[in-house]
Amino acid sequence: KNQVEQSPQSLIILEGKNCTLQCNYTVSPFSNLRWYKQDTGRGPVSLTIMTFSENTKSNGRYTATLDADTKQSSLHITASQLSDSASYICVVSGGRGSTLGRLYFGRGTQLTVWP
Amino acid sequence: NAGVTQTPKFRILKIGQSMTLQCTQDMNHNYMYWYRQDPGMGLKLIYYSVGAGITDKGEVPNGYNVSRSTTEDFPLRLELAAPSQTSVYFCASSYGTSGTGEQFFGPGTRLTVL
């Protein structure tokens, strides 16, 4: 069964600290993996998109890594800010056949940054 | 560009009522999608469209209908609202020929059915 699991479910950190969010998936075949940020009451906004040939991709203070062999990804946030408080969603895109273009969503990690 | 816009932002329906959630995008994307997001759960695909005149079911299509008469608009219709349809609904669009391009989401419509 094609699934995307994220951990932890929620996380609280102090402003200025770093954190790492995890994503494991079983989607196969696989096209790309995306990390989205969803602020409360808003739609998801894309942070990074990685294909199976990419190991890492950065977007400012956000760095995503991908290990397509173990089907694991992580999102590292450096020097957290209060505005980083949001839900971070891992999304895997299917590769071909019946899964082509189909997106599989994780439940998200709810990050809270305290001052 | 306004991106993906959705109306209304909030709506309360009584059981059995019907309504249409509107979605418009101005990016000339060929793919459009409707998702629902229940509390603490991942987004689930209701319907999608690969272009004007073409629609297809996603994971959870029961109780919903869609149409795609233009590239820009992709309305979602609820015919007989049920409490199980209480959720936040997101419309999204993407470019490309295979649906693997980045998806851009609207702000969502929060629907409550009482």
**Burial class of residue B52 (count of CB atoms within 10 Å of its CB; 0-12, 13-18, 19+):** middle
**Mutate which: B10, B37, B90, vs A, most A CBs within 10 A:** B37
The pLDDT value recorded for residue A38 is: 95
Q: What is the mean pLDDT of residues A64-73?
A: 95
For the stretch B56-112, pLDDT in tens is: 998 899 999 999 999 999 999 998 999 999 999 999 999 876 556 788 999 999 999
Alpha carbon distance B76, B67 (integer Å): 7
Judge whether A63 and A78 are in contact, CB under 8 Å: yes
pLDDT band at A15 (very low <50, low <70, confident <90, very high): very high
Q: How far is CA A53 from the centre of its chain?
A: 17
Average pLDDT, chain A: 92
CA atoms within 13 A on the CB side of A31: 19
**Burial class of residue A9 (count of CB atoms within 10 Å of its CB; 0-12, 13-18, 19+):** exposed
Chain A residues in contact with B102 by the CB 8 A cut-off are: 34, 46, 49
Contact between B105 and A45 using a beta-carbon 8 Å cutoff = yes
Chain B residues in contact with A102 by the CB 8 A cut-off are: 45, 99
Chain B residues in contact with A106 by the CB 8 A cut-off are: 42
Contact between B90 and A103 using a beta-carbon 8 Å cutoff = no
Contact between B45 and A102 using a beta-carbon 8 Å cutoff = yes
Question: Closest chain A residue to B97 measured between Cα atoms?
Answer: A101
Contact between A107 and B105 using a beta-carbon 8 Å cutoff = no
